Amino acid sequence: MQPVAIFRHSPTEGPGYFAIFLEQQGIPWRLIALDEGETVPASTSNFSGLCFMGGPMSVNDPLPWIEPVCALIRDAAARNVPVIGHCLGGQLMSKALGGEVTRNPVKEIGWSEAGGEDHAIARHWLGNYAGKLGTIFQWHGETFSIPPGATRLLANRHCANQMFALGPHLGMQCHVEMTPEMIATWCDQWADEAIAVTDQPSVQTPEAMQQEIAQRLPAMRQLSEQLYSVWIKGLAH
């Protein structure tokens, strides 16, 4: 089968567990490092699916690759090629598909929980997490609206739109792809992100984040495997 294209926008925000999961399923993937100046492909014809990772920038920034990425997402939607987005990736999907990205009421940084919706589409994507709480990891200050025709899957008290589905496509505000190594690297950047908002209940310290890895990561891994397992069913073999 053709590879899944994984788009990286920042050196420290790689594919993490998503790539590990693909390899476990025997699914090939190819990294497209936009942070190193790689060109956005003109179409999805050489890929079975598209994955967009996170990044510190805003989709509203005047970056040269934003509009080509949005055009590629629209091409994928037109061809029914599955797209999945993590954090910035989910925001890119929302923007490309007719939604908006705006400042979230608070920054969310660290471990949290979110409640799954309980309807047919949510049950399809979330499985046993539909109507229940699931563990997620956060690192964002902006949020997306649910694009036209899409359905919200996950929400919490700090950010109403944590996840949406539109056909075979899955957009996430949260980071379900985290590994312990990624968390440690991001914690090194914590002061730049969180120094002014440490009194907010939606922001954890690096110490708290790392202390909770042993308890929280296995629970989130189950959620990520549920989501990724559904998403790969849409890939063309």
Copy the structure tokens of residue 69. Answer: 């990425």
In angstroms, the Cα distances linking 62 to 59, 67, 71, 110, 138 are: 8, 9, 15, 28, 24
pLDDT greater than 90 at residue 146: yes
Examine the pLDDT at 197 and tell me if it is beyond 60.
no
The pLDDT value given to residue 187? 87
pLDDT at 198 over 90: no
Place of tokens 């989709």: 59
Pairing of strands 163-166, 169-172: antiparallel
Give percent above pLDDT 70 in the chain: 95
Question: Could you give the CA distance from residue 207 to residue 204 in angstroms, rounded to a whole number?
Answer: 8
In this predicted structure, the answer to whether residue 201 has a pLDDT above a threshold of 90 is: no
Q: What number is the average pLDDT over the span 123-130?
A: 97
Other C-beta atoms within 10 Å of 206: how many? 18
Q: Region of 155 please: left (phi>0), alpha (psi -120 to 50) or beta.
A: beta
Give the pLDDT of residue 199: 63
CATH match for 4-232 among 3.40.50.880, 3.40.50.360, 3.30.365.10, 2.40.50.140: 3.40.50.880
Q: How far is CA 56 from the centre of its chain?
A: 13
46 or 197, higher pLDDT: 46
Nearest of 73, 92, 93 to residue 81 by alpha carbon: 73
**Each residue's pLDDT tens digit, 9-32:** 999 999 999 999 999 999 999 999
